[in-house]
């Protein structure tokens, strides 16, 4: 029951990791619950809970924090980015 979690931009830099494959914790059924579970690891992971306007995607589709997550999914978290 693994999920692949990707971290992008400043979030990747803050965490020091671009991706992680982990067993989906029991009781975690949404993107928001997964985010909260990761943030509970403490620093620097708490950045997942404090980043304003954090974006998320499941299987390369933009979703809200209430989107379902299941084994085999790829979940991405990234802060809003600007460019020009």
The pLDDT score that the predictor gives to residue 3 is 97
Q: Is residue 73 part of a domain?
A: yes
Q: Is residue 83 part of a domain?
A: no
Show the 3-state SS of the chain: CEEEEEECHHHHHHHCCCEEEEECCCCCCEHHHHHHHHHCCCCCCCHHHHCCCCEEEECCEEECCCCECCCCCEEEEECCCCCC
Look up the CATH number of the domain holding residue 46. Answer: 3.10.20.30
Task: Provide the domain count of the chain.
Answer: 1
- How does pLDDT run across 25-65, given as a tens digit for each residue? 899 999 999 999 999 999 999 999 998 899 999 999 999 99
Chain mean pLDDT for the chain: 93
On the question of pLDDT at 1 being above 60, the answer is: yes
Q: Is residue 84 part of a domain?
A: no
Expressed as residue numbers, the domain containing 73 is 2-78
């Amino acid at each position: 029951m693994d999920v692949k979690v990707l971290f992008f931009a400043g979030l990747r830099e803050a965490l020091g990791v671009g991706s992680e494959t982990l067993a989906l914790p029991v009781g975690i059924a949404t993107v928001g619950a997964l985010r909260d579970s990761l943030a509970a690891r403490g620093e620097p992971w708490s950045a997942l809970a404090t980043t304003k306007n954090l974006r998320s995607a499941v299987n390369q589709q933009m979703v809200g924090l209430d989107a379902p997550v299941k084994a085999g999914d790829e979940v991405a978290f990234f802060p809003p980015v600007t460019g020009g």
